Amino acid sequence: MKIDIFRLNWIFIDTIIIILLVLLLLGVKIFKQTHRWRSIFANTEIKIYPKSSLKIIPKKKLPSTFYLVKNKLNKQRINSPVLVFVDDILISNFPIGLVEAFCTYGYNVVNISIKLTFLRNHILSKERFGTINCKKIHYILDTYKKNQLITTSNYFLITLNLRHFPYQEAYQDPRCQGIIAINPKFNSFSSKPIKNVLNSNDRLRRFYMIFSEKRYFFSKQDYKKCRKVLPIDKSNIKIVKNSRKSFKNYETILLSEILNILKNK
């Protein structure tokens, strides 16, 4: 059966092609904003100590992915806490360049990636909430210290794009020197742990939040929402202008904001 090309609806076909091209361009744009071309460490002056390099109690339930990154030359800041980064292994990971930069400045960094699982009606299970807590952070740091890879088990907690985290437990932990929540998710349920922290009478340790101004293309309102619902000083909320959720091309500004907080803690 022959097709008469002159009887085809070329306007409809052209419309479909244009729509597909627009979707392709949008997909490429989103991919460039959410993915980084460099996903491995390139700095030769740092060394990585993964979970597999430690002798861990077999029955100990720990996050599937964590590692210590430190300067090979042992250029460490005296009395500085270990920076503990916690992110979601499936959604967001801390930029490799950011981790390298902190090591260059003399900080030891432990990166912990957790896998989030949810139940119906947004109720957290014990297994979900237990994916990471202070006891597990203590065990990881104590194990690295026992292996003489770090000199202190005090830490400064930095989270990235997490909807749920036991912030109150971390805030009350005497080893925790402070908390920085980067792009925390806000709703009536997930903001409760943060509210509990900020309602605390303990003002010795500070709680900071850093937001990107945009998600992918549009402005995000989380930082405006948190100013209304949380009892927090505006100076404790930092906004990286023009940046998007991944902070791509704005890592240096994010680094400077975190360093300023660490310097003035």
What's the pLDDT tens digit per position in 1-59?
566 666 677 788 889 999 999 999 988 877 776 666 666 777 778 888 888 878 776 55
SS3 60: coil
Mean pLDDT (whole number) for 84-94: 73
Residue 17: the pLDDT is 93
In a domain, 144, yes or no: yes
For residue 125, the tally of other CB atoms under 10 A from its CB is: 11
In a domain, 35, yes or no: no
Mean pLDDT (whole number) for 102-129: 65
In a domain, 12, yes or no: no
In a domain, 146, yes or no: yes
> Which of 90-104, 200-214, 242-256 has the lowest average pLDDT?
200-214
Question: What percent of the chain shows pLDDT beyond 70?
Answer: 66
In a domain, 90, yes or no: yes
Rounded CA-CA distance 132/62 in Å is: 8
More confident residue, 24 or 224: 24
Rounded CA-CA distance 69/265 in Å is: 22
- Expressed as residue numbers, the domain containing 246 is 41-263
Rounded CA-CA distance 159/116 in Å is: 14
Paired strand residues for 131: none
Residue 118: the pLDDT is 46
In a domain, 70, yes or no: yes
In a domain, 11, yes or no: no
In a domain, 206, yes or no: yes
The mean pLDDT value of the chain amounts to 77
Question: What percent of the chain shows pLDDT beyond 90?
Answer: 17
What strands lie across the sheet with 176-182, from one edge to the other? 46-50, 65-71, 109-114, 82-88, 155-160, 176-182, 207-212, 237-240
What's the pLDDT tens digit per position in 134-164?
888 999 999 999 988 898 999 999 988 777 7
Query: Which CATH number goes with the domain that contains 173?
Result: 3.40.50.1820
Instruction: Please tell me the total count of domains within the chain.
Output: 1
| pTM of the model as a whole | 0.77
